[in-house]
Chains A and B, each alone.
Chain A
Amino acid sequence: MTDIAWIDKALTSARPQAMGALLRYFRNLDTAEEAFQEACLRALKSWPDKGPPRDPAAWLIFVGRNSGIDAIRRGSKQVALPDEEKISDTEDAEADIAERLDGEHYRDDILRLLFVCCHPDLPSTQQIALALRIVSGLSVRQIARAFLVGESAMEQRITRAKARVGAAGIPFETPDAEARAERLAAVSTMIYLIFNEGYSASGEGAAHIRPLCDEATRLARLLLRLFPAEPEIMGLTALMLLQHARSPARFDTEGIIVLLEDQDRGLWNQPMIAEGLSLIDKAMRHRQPGAYQIQAAVAALHARAAKAEDTDWRQIDALYAALERLQPSPVITLNRAVAISKVEGAAAALEMIEPLGERLCGYFHFHGVRGALLLELGRRQEARVAFDRAIALANTAAEAAHIRVHLDRLLKDSGAA
């Protein structure tokens, strides 16, 4: 059963744990990465014949550590691999290492590995690129394709990010509870950034970017398995699952965005919804509300509505109000206004968002929502101006196309009137 595809999966799956341990050991990202690469090469040579080791991560850590030490001793000169006989005696040592890999230790290893990627000095795109390279093990070419840049440009970006992280110093002390919570929060943000990078993709090239949603979900599940009682990690995982579940219904055949209320709910991924709902259920029991949990609860209300008109907008309004208190932001108020428009009508919603104009004047969705509300109130001329602004600010072709549908309808109606 040791085919190459399986080995590939096992290497990917063991990567965060093995890289995390090697980073702790060598205290240098490049050395850890080279050692891990070396261990993977040896795995590819050794596993097909000998069968997979009982604990692939422990095997990779052991072999990677030895090869890294060798490399350092040789002054990083290229030397041929030692023969396979020498590697075979890792089997005994493996059990020993596996026992020492107690949960607490490798939890912090993986968290550290993720955490060094979200250094506050790094712009978010670099954080994501670094995490996808270091933690997920995507190739530079895959990452470059996801960000629609050339391979050499991405290579440079990652090299610069690594240098910055190295210069800033990697925190190796075992974190106390407070530091651990801070790291978890930073890492959660980064994982959600990866998710949104994939989720907001549309048009050409989107096929290469969408898998970032799966990768982010994989990282969130990994984190949740390490910290099974953290309600915000449950919330984050639930939020991504519940949003991702709608992916098959979010674009029409021409790649135009289909609004939530117009989506074919039969296309939604039911197992993902079930998993998301169960996680948000578990999270609520802890009675420690957080931003991800609240957003996941909103997504859960949408997921629970069999038809768009069954949506519990009053509850959604209450949840956004809670989110506003927790983390005031005009974007959240804008979201809340959409709920208000369903509960109290367009006039109340418009009144709520007008004061946001100054802060959100450069925000595509602000003008899109405002245009829709004005249209509902029959203020067609103002609606047109708002939609024009939205199109000018659209980030993607799909966003622009979506607004254009509104505009075309508006023009057609006025032609008929």
Chain B
Amino acid sequence: MLYAILCYNDENLTSAWPEEKERETMDRLAAVEGELAAAGRLGPVARLLPTTSATTLRKGAGEHIILDGPFAETKEQLLGFFIVECVDLQEALDAARDLAIANPEGGAYEIRPLAIYKPGDPKK
């Protein structure tokens, strides 16, 4: 089964990381990704720009409403995700645990099984 591991954290804090810390964390995460990829379990990985760059289309009965910013004001924001193949929740939790060791500072990983998966192949 495919699982999404959604990364939540306070973007106020993560966007203030010094360059070196940022690089080290990304290197450690890349190592975990490498293991998952080698096992043929890693799908797309994405990191999102800050929520200030977000636009929300609120579905309405007639006209849709377009709003600046994310849908919900929360303390922690969705910052990115990993798609990982796992036999069960336990394995997904193990993957999330490895990611948490690589990126230990604050926040949470939400583990959500995928209902539909269309990896696509966008051209730049």
Contacts and interface: CB of A to CB of B under 8 A. Distances in A.
B75 A225 contact: no
Contacts of B66: 285
A145 interface: no
B110 to A, nearest CB: 18
Contacts of B15: 218, 221
Given A6-B105, A221-B15, A228 B49 contact: no
Residue among A9, A103, A279, A285 with most chain B CB within 10 A? A9
A331 interface: no
Contacts of B12: 13, 222
A271 interface: yes
Residue among A10, A218, A221, A274 with most chain B CB within 10 A? A221
Interface in A214-256: 218, 221-222, 224-225, 228-229, 234, 237
B85 to A, nearest CB: 28
Interface string A269-294: 00100110011001001000000000
Residue among B15, B16, B67, B68 with most chain A CB within 10 A? B68
Contacts of A225: 51-52, 69
Interface residues of B, number: 20
A279 B75 contact: no
Nearest to B77: A225
A13 B69 contact: no
B55 A1 contact: no
B117 to A, nearest CB: 25
B61 to A, nearest CB: 22
Residue among B16, B50, B52 with most chain A CB within 10 A? B52
Contacts of A55: 75
Interface string A190-207: 000000000000000000
B53 interface: yes
Nearest to B10: A13
A221 B16 CA distance: 11
B121 interface: no
A221 B50 contact: yes
B13 interface: yes
A290 to B, nearest CB: 15
B52 A9 contact: no
Interface in B7-56: 10, 12-13, 15-16, 49-53, 55
Contacts of B13: 9-10, 13
B52 A229 contact: no
B52 A271 contact: no
Contacts of A271: 49
Contacts of A228: 52, 68-69
A9 B106 CA distance: 11
Contact of B106 (A6, A229, A282): A6
Interface string B54-66: 0100000000001
A326 B16 CA distance: 35
28 contacts: A1-B105, A1-B106, A6-B106, A9-B13, A9-B16, A10-B13, A12-B16, A13-B12, A13-B13, A55-B75, A218-B15, A221-B50, A222-B12, A225-B51, A225-B69, A228-B52, A228-B68, A229-B67, A229-B68, A229-B69, A234-B52, A234-B68, A274-B49, A278-B49, A278-B53, A279-B53, A282-B53, A285-B66
Given A234-B68, A275-B49, 7 more contacts: A103-B73, A221-B15, A221-B52, A225-B51, A228-B52, A278-B53, A285-B66
Interface of A: 1, 6, 9-10, 12-13, 55, 103, 218, 221-222, 224-225, 228-229, 234, 237, 271, 274-275, 278-279, 282, 285
Interface of B: 10, 12-13, 15-16, 49-53, 55, 66-69, 73, 75, 104-106
**Top 7 A-B pairs ranked by shortest CB distance?**
A228-B69, A278-B53, A229-B68, A228-B68, A224-B52, A13-B12, A275-B49
